[in-house]
Amino acid sequence: MLFKTILEIPGEPAFTWYSLFQLYFSLGFAIGVVVLGLMFYFIYRYREDRSTESEDIKPGRIPTERGNLKVILGFLGITAIVLYSLTIYSIPLTSYIEDVPEGDDVIVIDVIGFQWGWRFIYPNGTESVGEVKVPVGKTVVFRVTSLDILHNFKIRDFRTGVDAVPGAYTYIWISPHEPGEYIIQCYELCGVGHANMVAKLIVG
């Protein structure tokens, strides 16, 4: 669903993700409404039967230039400012979400994607397929790779995911606050078993 209430969010980085998404969404929505509103106003205001303007397009006559550089630079300025401030604003968030947390209380779990399932290897060497258990309140790092082809390891309730690339490691982390069962699913087409390439994340 588009938005979730704060109680439905099971932990980080989903909180951060939603805050950024909401920023993008509200800005995007506002800009969309203004721009499209302007468009519809112009169409309403300058319709043939209401407009008193002259017709300047004549057959066989190359139209003259209209509009001025100042207005265009205004367009440029507005779009550039909005876009670049969003980017600059999200640089610290990017490193927050992307930097792999380190420390003694961080649990690192190896994840190996394969056609079609997920294998998890805990720090103590025990393995499990299709299910991974993590404690509440701890930060868990998933070190992801693939046995065969490109997969995408996604924990949608935590708003995070990363590609599982054969021959390479990629990392994501979660920090769950809410006990419960969550879905881990492959988000990159990987053959006939793709739709059912799911695993359970058990927090608690």
Judged by CB under 8 A, the chain residues 8 through 27 that form the site for other proteins are 13, 16-17, 20-21, 24
Which residue from 145, 139, 133, 129 is spatially nearest to 198, judged by alpha carbons?
129
For other proteins, which stretch binds (CB under 8 A), given 76-84, 104-112, 123-131, 132-140? 76-84
Amino acid at 204: G
How big is the site for other proteins, counted in residues (CB under 8 A)? 88
Q: How many CB atoms lie within 10 A of CB 4?
A: 13
Alpha-carbon span 34 to 28, nearest angstrom: 10
Minimum CB distance to other proteins, residue 95 (Å)? 8
69: exposed, middle or buried (Cβ count in 10 Å: 0-12, 13-18, 19+): exposed
Cα–Cα distances (Å) from 116 to 29, 35, 75, 125, 162, in that order, read: 39, 46, 49, 22, 17
How far apart CA 153 and CA 9 sit, in angstroms, is: 19
Stretch of 105-113, 118-126, 129-137, 169-177 lying at the interface with other proteins (CB under 8 A): 169-177
Taking CB under 8 A as the rule, does residue 111 contact other proteins? no
Minimum separation from the CB atom of position 91 to other proteins (A): 7
Q: Does 199 bind other proteins (CB under 8 A)?
A: no
The DSSP 8-state label assigned to residue 124 in this structure reads T
Q: How far is C-alpha 130 from the geometric centre of its chain's CA atoms?
A: 25
Minimum distance between the CB of residue 124 and other proteins, rounded to whole angstroms?
Answer: 26
Rounded Cα distance between 190 and 147, Å, is 12
Stretch that binds other proteins, among 83-91, 123-131, 133-141, 174-182 (CB under 8 A): 83-91
Among 10, 11, 113, 161, binds other proteins (CB under 8 A): 161
- Binding-site member from 26, 78, 131, 137 for other proteins (CB under 8 A): 78
Tell me, residue by residue from 38 to 57, as one string, x for binding to other proteins by CB under 8 A and - for no binding: xx--xx--xxx--x-xxxxx
Q: Does 70 bind other proteins (CB under 8 A)?
A: no
> 179 to 198, contacts with other proteins by CB under 8 A?
185-196
Determine, following the binding rule CB under 8 A, whether residue 1 of this chain makes contact with other proteins: yes
| Smaller CB separation from other proteins, 32 or 137 | 32
Residue 103 exposed, middle or buried by CB count within 10 Å (0-12, 13-18, 19+): exposed
